[in-house]
Amino acid sequence: MIHRFFKKKQTLYPADSYSKEYIENMLKASEYELTRIPTIFSFLLTSSDDLKIRTAKVLYEYVISLNILELSKLDNLFRERTSLDWSYDWRNESPENLLLPDMSDDEKLIILGLCSFHPNGYFREKAIHLLNLDDSGKELPYLLIRCNDWVTEIRETAKKYVKIRLTIKNVNHIVSNLPLFFKLKNTKRNDNSVFEDVVQLLSQKESLPFLDEGTKSDFTKIRYFCYQTIIYSKLVNKEILINYLKLEKEPHPRLLLFNEIIGDISVNEFKNYYPILKKDKFPMIRAKVLEKYYSFFPGESVLELESALLDKSGTIRSIARFLLKKQNITDFAPFYIRMINSEQFLRGAILGLGEVGKKEHVQLIIPFLGNLNVSIVKAAIYAISMLDGENQKEYFMRLLDHKQEGVANAARKSLTKVYYNDMKEQLSNLFKETKYEHTKYNLALLLCSLSKWDAINYIIEFYVNTEDTVISDIGRKNFVKWIGNFNRIFDSPTMNQIEAIKYTLAKYGRKLEKQEVKDIEFYIKGFQ
């Protein structure tokens, strides 16, 4: 006999009132969206077994695509979006009535798991009792989420069921859920007993192979908490941590590993690991390595510090100069000039000269604006900007129309650091003439950032540009910003600026909302 969800006799279930088009649109989404899941879950409340089975399959595909922290977000989404009007008596309803014999065990488990997110406490409690009957490990995340339930009875029941599972047999599932255990540790409702039991279990030697496997997870948070647990348990030596560091790609877990490695490192250990550590791609790590090298070998550090003067990170270059000053080496411009002239480590040398040089050094850098290497051109732009940007802005102006987007972006950023209001006509003409979309984008940003009474003309022109949605969007956002900030900037317009705004309204006003036109007219009225 097939169960029906409602025990009360009803002629219409909630999903039966949805249009077929709406159901199809929800079930056939090309990309998984977290916010769709509560709505799709409601499709289980139907008189159609075919729709129930199809819904179960879609829910399964959605949920298995989530990481466990995304899964925990569903708890809030269900409370916000799930209707309590599906039935009048949730206390007497059972999650089992949503299941059908033709559903797979995995589909049933996910439906029960989603039932554990329901706003009604009686219904949630029944769901976790049913989840407890499963011992595959797939039920664990749902039980963990309920350990932070706002109802004490449910919270305590979930904790009891989780603690039953804290055995060596389940360590692989525990490792997969480590982010939830750590999240539970930081909640106000939790007494930390579950977390403490987990730490004690994972600190045993038998758990290490599972933690090691967890360090290979695709999910960064799992790797991070595996490293954290391994470090706390003191089950491995520095060599193993170095191996983890070599393989880890993300900066947050890398920094965790590095801090443990470097914390009480001996001179000999540091010597062994230095060739690896000094090449770390994370600047914060390279900075700490450089400082540690100097603290261990101050007398031998000059060559290493000079090498760091050319690092791709400005932070590292700055630290290297600071440490060299302690060695009474204070004039760095000749070093950078020598490297530029010999065309060695050009990017770092150009940027370094920009950081410590003088205006006259600009002439040495200008030729590199025509370099074929984009990174060299960008470095030259930034160096010139630091040394004498105000007097070299014509170069930035020309480079706005560079075919390489990165170069054009660098030129735009450098122009924003100088006064360019006097270049508005050039910028406007280039906007009309350029063939590059990235140049138009950068020019629109610059023109919308002019002084208050000059910018509004371009903002309106871009806002009504229906042929280019990107430019129109820039105009729209800046129009809203201009209106919102009007009374925060007290500059008065000149008569020429007022006439220019009147001309702009006459030309484009028909494409604006009437209220928008009235707002602008009102703002200029007081200055006429």
Q: pLDDT tens string for the chain (528 positions)?
A: 334 444 444 446 778 888 888 888 888 866 668 888 988 998 888 889 999 999 999 999 999 999 999 999 999 888 876 554 444 356 677 899 899 999 999 999 999 999 999 988 899 999 999 999 999 999 999 999 999 999 999 999 999 999 999 999 999 999 999 999 999 998 888 778 999 999 999 999 999 999 999 999 999 999 999 999 999 999 899 999 999 999 999 999 999 999 999 998 999 999 999 999 999 989 999 999 999 999 999 989 999 999 999 999 999 999 999 999 999 999 999 999 999 999 889 999 999 999 999 999 999 999 999 999 999 999 999 999 999 999 999 999 999 999 999 999 999 999 999 999 999 999 999 999 999 999 999 999 999 999 999 999 999 999 999 899 999 999 999 999 998 887 766 788 899 999 999 999 999 999 999 999 999 999 888 777
**Using an 8 Å Cβ cutoff, are 108 and 99 in contact?**
yes
Q: How far apart are CA 218 and CA 177, in angstroms?
A: 13
The CA-CA-CA angle for residues 498, 501, 502, to 5°, reads 85
Farthest CA pair distance, the chain: 90
Token pair of 309, please?
Answer: 């003067």
- Helix (H, G, I), strand (E, B), or coil: what is residue 96? helix
Closest residue by Cα to residue 5 from 111, 117, 145:
111
Token pair of 321, please?
Answer: 């100069």
Q: Model-level pTM greater than 0.85?
A: no
C-alpha distance from residue 408 to each of 220, 263, 382, 438, 458 (Å): 34, 43, 12, 8, 20
**Using an 8 Å Cβ cutoff, are 505 and 517 in contact?**
yes
List own/partner pairs for 332-337 with CB under 8 A and 24 or more apart: 332/356, 333/357, 333/358, 333/361, 335/306, 335/309, 336/309, 337/361, 337/364
- What is the separation of C-alpha 209 from the centre of its chain, rounded to a whole number of angstroms? 31
Classify burial at 420, counting beta carbons within 10 Å of its beta carbon; exposed 0-12, middle 13-18, buried 19 or more. Answer: buried
The number of C-alpha atoms within 13 Å of 240 and in the hemisphere containing its C-beta is 12
Q: How far apart are CA 431 and CA 442, in angstroms?
A: 9
**Using an 8 Å Cβ cutoff, are 140 and 165 in contact?**
yes
Closest residue by Cα to residue 358 from 326, 325, 329, 391:
391
Q: Characterize 176-186 residue by residue with b for buried, 16 or more Cβ atoms within 10 angstroms of its Cβ, and e for exposed.
A: bbbbbbbbbee
